[in-house]
Structure 1
Amino acid sequence: MDRPELLPLPQLHAFLVLAEELHFGRAAARLGVAQPPLSQQIRRLEEKVGYPLFDRTPGRVALTPAGHALLPAARRALTGLADGLATARAAGSGRAGRLRIGFAASLALTVLPGLLRDFRQRFPEAHLDIHEMTTAPQLDALRDRTIDIGLLREPPAGPSELGFRTVLSEPFVTVLPAAHPLAARRTVPLDRLADEPFVLLPRAAGPQLYDRITGLCEAAGFTPRIAQHAVEWQTVCALVETGLGVSVAPAGIRRIRLKGVAFRRIEPGTARTRVAVAWREGDDNPLVGQLLAAIGQGGAGSLPGTATGPAPDAPDARS
């Protein structure tokens, strides 16, 4: 099949201006050219079309049927080009384009809402693709280039092709059935959980966080006995509510509202978990740099203290 002939954009522009002015002198002045070059552009375009586009009589210029037919297409072509150039410039400057973000589900309770709200306000032309995934899959997705930014807990230490920046530090809390005797306390010494069954995320979902929690237990003198694994913290809390076990979790998990679950601060109270934004070093997506710059300026996603406060205390709590 023969491909349609492309018409030169300068000739279409000259045609459109003349069609609007219907006067060679005014159209030439508007284009910033002399009248003869304008007439030459129109003649070349008519040669390509194969038919006259304008009726020229002394003191009068009018569109022919062929000119009337070409006019809407010329407008669409030039508008489309202008829109495309604007989109390209916005993407090149980092104001538009596509940013794929992976996030740990628990961060929908803390960092994520503020990050998305701030980023959309700063860059309304950008398109965000949001993907819920635990830490280990996020790291794989960053390396595989299926996401551009990760929001995860306990980033890995050591050399990496990925960059990490802390956006939140929060304490740990115990997650207890509301009827559990320890739920009456203001704080819970971690060694008091030594004989309890635990519900935890599987290590494969986030090795660093899993090791951090089990490490806290080991520092308190015991190895936690895992009764059940659950991939999401909301499921962990639901299983705790049924009495299947207890858990140790980041304090932001308190925002999961279950009547049958109590969240209590742990002793020692200095233990904290780190939330970080992750990206590929040298990524050429300008929106990645824009988001990191916004975080560095205290903007999108920079929410210190979001979930760092103490867990709610029982009305009759005792130390």
Structure 2
Amino acid sequence: MERPEIPLPQLHAFVVLAEELHFGHAAARLGIAQPPLSQQIRRLEDRVGHALFTRAPGRVALTPAGNELLPAARRALTDLADGLAAARAVGSGRAGSLRIGFAASLALTVLPGLLRTFRDRSPDVHLDIREMTTAPQIAALHDKTIDIGLLREPPSDETGLCFRTVLSEPFVAVLPSTHPLAGQRTVRLAQLAESPFVLLPRAVGPTLYDQIVGLCTTAGFTPRIVQHAVEWQTVCALVETGLGVSLAPAGIRRIRLRGVAFRRIEPGTARTRVAVAWREDDHNPLVTRLLATVGQDCPPDESR
């Protein structure tokens, strides 16, 4: 059987009259005249197929059909009010869900302050945080499986995406504490020419990988890479075992491993960029709200 569609104004009029049990009082509460109220109730009764009220001079009462309808009518009006409030909250960026991809090393620098500030300002927003390296983040942004990316060295020719730098870091040498150069305050890159290297695979961060290899090339050698690891924490752990050395963003110094030494490098002019990324055509107000937060709680420059 086809269910009759009942206009919400009729339900609203019905609920108010059921609460007031007086046409004059109900009409005043609704801000309308009594005849339009009576018409609304008659139309609703026609849709239901039964009288909802008994009417007598100076007395109005709910019929059994009216008593049955009243809880459902109240739920419908409450659900609508809740839905409108939720829609307004999402539309204004005060609620909803935001999917954020981040490079693991940024949990040591940018990410904690950013999330703390955003959650303080938008406590009703659900954050879906996903650990991803740079290349997967770029793909996920295009596929619309994340809304925001926090990554290192974004590509310069990526159409459809926007990037904003939030942090610039120099590089440091990552050495086993037993390495002959670990006792120096500063390491010249050329001094690492004979050491084996542990690096991220190029596939997970092509721009950063090429930048590191380029630094070595400028210093007069091609790094002899003996092991790859997807995350910087793993790179440092492998360096600690004595497997090799590495070059890493300075923020990696926050990884505390007893057997690893982090040293400044010379020349120290090269820097790596941390950026926030989003889709150019994304008009999600939550993205706009997070972008307004970016940069306000980034860690200090890591050059010291």
Band of TM-score, shorter chain: over 0.9
Instruction: Please give the alpha-carbon distance, in whole angstroms, between the structure 1 residues aligned to 2:262 and 2:240.
Output: 11
Residue type of the alignment partner of 1:137: P
Identity %: 77
The answer to whether the 8 Å contact 1:96/1:123 transfers is yes
Question: Which residue of structure 2 aligns with residue 291 of structure 1?
Answer: 290
Matched with 1:83 is 82
Match of 1:208 in 2: 207
Counterpart residue identity of residue 288, structure 2: G
1:9 paired residue number: 8
Between 53-62 and 67-76, the greater mean CA deviation after superposition? 53-62
Where does the alignment leave 5 or more consecutive residues of structure 2 unmatched? none
Cα deviation, residue 309, structure 1: 4.6
- SS of the equivalent of 1:228 reads strand
After TM superposition, list the pairs within 5 Å mapping 1:27-46 onto structure 2: 27-46=26-45
Distance 1:204 1:159, change over 3 A: closer
Q: Give the number of aligned pairs.
A: 304
Query: In the superposition, relative to structure 1, how do residues 80 and 241 fare at CA in structure 2: closer, same or farther (>3 Å)?
Result: same
Q: Does the CA-based 8 Å contact 1:95-1:125 persist in structure 2?
A: yes
Counterpart for residue 72 of structure 2: 73
The residue number in structure 1 matching 2:182 is 183
For structure 1, which segment, 206-215 or 100-109, has the greater mean C-alpha deviation from structure 2 after superposition?
100-109
SS in 2 for 1:179: coil
Question: Structure 2 CA distance, aligned partners of 1:21 and 1:185?
Answer: 86
Partner of 1:308: 302
The residue number in structure 1 matching 2:126 is 127
The farther-off stretch of 57-66 and 257-266 is 57-66
**Would the aligned equivalents of 1:105 and 1:133 in 2 still touch at CA under 8 Å?**
yes
User: Take 2:158 and 2:135, find their aligned partners in 1: how far apart are those partners?
Assistant: 16
The yes-or-no answer on 1:168 pairing with 2:183 is: no
Residue deviations 1:18-39 (CA, integer Å, cap 9, x gap): 1222221111001001111111
Indicate the residue corresponding to 2:261 in structure 1: 262
Which whole-Å deviations, capped at 9, do the CAs of 1:130-176 have from their partners, x for residues lacking one?
22111111112222222221111111124632111100011211111
One-letter amino acid of the structure 2 residue matched with residue 216 of structure 1: L
1:19 maps to amino acid: A
CA distance in 2, matches of 1:114, 1:69: 54
Alignment check: 8 A CA contact 1:167 1:304 kept: no
Match in the other structure for 2:135: 136
State whether residues 169 and 304 of structure 1, in contact with CA within 8 Å, keep that contact through their aligned partners in structure 2: no
Q: Which residue of 1 aligns with 2:153?
A: 154
* Contact 1:104 1:133 survives alignment (8 Å): yes
Deviation at 1:220?
A: 1.5
* TM-score of the pair, normalised by structure 2: 0.93
Shift of 1:60: 2.5
Letter in 2 for 1:303: C
**SS of aligned partner of 2:127:** strand
Q: Is contact 2:114–2:293 with CA below 8 Å preserved after alignment? A: no
Q: Is the 8 A contact 1:170 1:252 kept in 2?
A: yes
Counterpart AA for 1:155? P
Equivalent position amino acid for 2:298 in 1: L
| Alpha-carbon offset, residue 93 of structure 1 | 2.7
- Give 3-state SS (helix, strand or coil) of 1:282's partner: coil
Partner of 1:271: 270
Letter in 1 for 2:32: V
CA contact (8 A) 1:102 1:151 kept: yes
Distance 1:272 1:211 in 2: 13
Unaligned runs of 5+ in 1: 311-319
Match of 1:251 in 2: 250
